[in-house]
Amino acid sequence: MAHPKILLLSGSTRSGSYNTRLVDLATKRLAERDAEPTRISLADYPLPIYDADQEASRGAPEEAVGLHRLFLAHQGIFLASPEYNAGVSPLLKNAIDWISKVSDDKHPPLAAYRNRVFAVSAASPGPYGGIRGLIALRQVLEIGLGALVIPEQVAVPRADDAFTAEGELADERAAGFFDAMTKRLVDEARRYVAP
Ligand SMILES: Cc1cc2nc3c(=O)[nH]c(=O)nc-3n(C[C@H](O)[C@H](O)[C@H](O)COP(=O)(O)O)c2cc1C
């Protein structure tokens, strides 16, 4: 598969979000590597906090069904998420939870998380760059949902100062790690059959 499809989304919808900048940067890197990136915003998929009674009475919201469909349509998924109190941003966690509850006749449970590959990244104005949130996100994806997450991940500390005017990572070492992460994501995504 020459041009693997990669979905990208940020765990923040804040204007000026550092994590959305990582999504922008990854979109650029993936396109350079002949992947086919699809960048979406969770702002376009507003979801109520997961509620089992709502699910039982009305099923998953159409936005969750739409995200589920998008996950299925891509061989790779890139997530950049803020760390909130050492955990996953509630916006992203809620979307992940709703998607995990979507089912249809054609796919087994959790199909959106299987048979594709994930990469995770984070940025924070703090000194740790969101690395603790990435550990939590990795746990949710790998242990909770059986997803394959590549070991390469990039956490960008002092994010208020980390990007150039062109949206690149100013630190050469961090830029190199980011490049290696996107390369591995594309290489792994190529192993999966195009949806
Ligand atoms: C409730 C809350 C908790 C936070 N906890 C952390 C934290 O544990 N570690 C950290 O580095 N930053 C933390 N932050 C700061 C975020 O990293 C910062 O707001 C960041 O800019 C959010 O990502 P964004 O720029 O993509 O919106 C927290 C922010 C909020 C609102």
pLDDT digits 0-9 by tens, 86-134: 999 999 999 999 999 998 889 999 999 999 999 999 999 999 999 999 9
Looking at ligand 1, which atom is closest to the CA of residue 14?
27
User: Atom of ligand 1 at shortest distance to CA of 126?
Assistant: 11
Q: Evaluate whether 102 touches 108 at the Cβ level (below 8 Å).
A: no
pLDDT at 195: 82
| Residue 10 CA, closest ligand 1 atom number | 26
Phi, psi of 55 (to 5 degrees): -60, -40
Domains detected in the chain: 5-189 (3.40.50.360)
Q: What's the confidence (pLDDT) of residue 194? A: 83
Of 159, 161, 137, nearest to 149 (Cα)?
137
Ligand 1 centroid to Cα of residue 83, in Å, is 5
Res 64: pLDDT: 98
- Residue 93's φ and ψ, nearest 5 degrees, are -60, -40
pLDDT tens, position by position, 133-191: 999 999 999 999 999 999 999 999 999 999 999 999 999 999 999 999 999 999 999 99
% of the chain surpassing 90 pLDDT? 96
Mutational pocket test of ligand 1: of 10, 79, 83, the residue with most ligand atoms within 8 Å of the beta carbon: 83
- Using a 6 Å CB cutoff, which residues line ligand 1? 12, 14, 17-19, 82-86, 124-126, 128, 130
Mutate to test the pocket of ligand 1, among 14, 20, 79, 85 (most ligand atoms within 8 A of CB): 85
Distance 40 CA to ligand 1 centre (A): 21
Mean pLDDT across the chain: 97
